[in-house]
Amino acid sequence: MPEMQAPTQIEVNTLGDYLEVMSKAVFQTGISWKVVESKWPQLREAMRNFDIDAVATLSTDDLEELAQDTRVIRNRRKLAAIVHNAQQMIDLDEEHGGFKNYLRSQDSFESRVKDMRKQFKFMGNMGCYYFLYVVGEEVPDHKDWMKSRDSKRRK
């Protein structure tokens, strides 16, 4: 089985940058990453270029309209999750004096992932790993982390 190429890390300048990376992880859950990548430019446009305030204030009617938009992956639950995640990001940014401060408020990678899974919708272990890696946070070696996850599942 060929290994997947590591995603490109970004320099985060706004909360919207965090939201875009997290949203990509949300959309990739259960869907081919290649499909998500191929749709991303149009999806990004439909999602208000991930302007966090614009996404956080999307109404039920806006979500219904997006669910009919062929530019997006039309999963209502994921679309609603992205709105929730935008709202949650804004709240955590305010609560911690910056979203980066929230990300670094946990004492270990495992506790960070556990908290992110609690705070954000459609963010599993791999989505959290992907998100943290892409936004430049410290993550363990992927192969080692996967082995540790496998050994925990076998117990």
Does a structural domain hold residue 134? yes
Rounded to an integer, the average pLDDT of 79-106 is 97
Does a structural domain hold residue 24? yes
Does a structural domain hold residue 106? yes
CB atoms under 10 Å from CB of 136, counted, come to: 13
Model pTM? 0.91
How many domains, in total, are found in the chain? 1
Looking at 104-141, list the stretches that DSSP marks H as alpha helix, in order from N- to C-terminal side: 109-119, 125-134
Per-residue pLDDT tens over the stretch 32-68: 889 999 999 999 999 999 999 999 999 999 999 999 9
Provide the token pair at 66: 């997006």
pLDDT bucket at 95, cuts 50 / 70 / 90: very high
Task: Tell me the residue range of the domain where 25 lies.
Answer: 15-154
Does a structural domain hold residue 28? yes
| Residue whose tokens read 């966090």 | 52
Does a structural domain hold residue 7? no
How far is residue 45's CA from residue 41's CA, in Å, rounded to a whole number? 6
Please say if the pLDDT value at position 19 is more than 60. yes
Does a structural domain hold residue 4? no
Please say if the pLDDT value at position 1 is more than 70. no
Q: What is the CATH number of the domain that holds 61?
A: 1.10.340.30
57-66: Cβ within 8 A, 24+ apart: 58/83
Does a structural domain hold residue 32? yes
